[in-house]
Amino acid sequence: MSTHPSPARASAAVAVAVAAALSLASCGADSASSSGPTPAGSPTASPSPTGTGQAHDTQDVSFAQGMIQYHRQSIEMADLAETRAQSQQVKTLARDIEQEQEPQVQQLTQWLDSWGEPVPEASPTGTASPTDTGSPTGTESPTGTESPTGTESPTGTGSPGPTDTGSPTGTGSPTDTASPTGTASPTGGGAMPGMATEEELNQLRQASGTEFDDLFVSLMTEHHEGSMELARTETEQGEYQPAKDMARSILDTQSGQVREMGTISGQGTE
């Protein structure tokens, strides 16, 4: 008996082998396709650095830090009106200022936290803290030695010289008193335009009746003009849209309050 397979059976075996080979090749191609690199422009692109979908710039940071300081001081002044003002119009205006600005301080603080930026330390006048003005006493000479008068020369002879004042380590150059927003004055008085000095705040704290009303209107008008200047800069140079929107709101609200204070000024009692 012959052991060779018939031609028909051999052809069938070849066909099965070819089909199996094609099936394996197809599976390999599918596997390679599924494990390949993600094409460009796929939905896995990295999110915005801020996590909010909107970018911010240094002006937005300056606006947030500066406006927090403005608002803190105006809230303090407004809080005094409840017990010291005589005019009901002044009391109502002060309450409006507090109710509008306290939520804004919270929002501005949240933005700075989310951006990883420092929140200004609380300071009623917004002036630079003692640690911002060089050495703790402000009298240290370039040699590292200190004299009570702060007039020691760079050579350590103790003779006064014109180069001793305003040195980086002496009484402080204009940049030594910079607040977080960089807007501190060289003298360390009102740190930003319109900010009341500590002396002016003390006068307001001690005043009452019509004297308080007149001083409050005077200080708050100047204060609003300074904060509106910062808000106006934000609308023109800021990038973060929510901050720009807040700045526009501040401009609208405070310009109206300045006009209202113009009608109060000089009235004394109602």
pLDDT digits (tens, 9 = 90+) for 32-44: 444 444 444 333 3
pLDDT of 153-190, one tens digit each?
344 444 444 444 443 333 333 333 333 333 443 233 34
Query: Which residues are within 8 A (CB) of 77 and not within 5 positions of it... i.e. 6 or more apart?
Result: 94, 196, 201, 204, 216, 219, 220, 223
Cα distance between residue 267 and residue 86, in whole Å: 11
Cα distance between residue 114 and residue 112, in whole Å: 5
By the 8 A CB rule, do 73 and 98 touch?
no
pLDDT of 202-221, one tens digit each?
999 999 999 999 999 999 99
Find the farthest-apart pair of alpha carbons in the chain and give their distance in angstroms, rounded.
134
Q: In 85-208, which ranges are continuous DSSP H helix?
A: 88-115, 198-206
Q: What is the pLDDT of residue 122?
A: 77
Mean pLDDT confidence for 223-247: 98
Please tell me which residue, 234 or 139, carries the higher pLDDT value. 234
pLDDT of 58-75, one tens digit each?
999 999 999 999 999 999
Q: What is the DSSP letter of 183?
A: -
Q: What is the pLDDT of residue 266?
A: 56
Please tell me which residue, 161 or 201, carries the higher pLDDT value. 201
Q: Which two tokens stand for residue 174?
A: 């204009």
Backbone angles phi, psi at 140, to 5 degrees: -75, 135
Question: Rounded to two decimals, what is the model's pTM?
Answer: 0.59
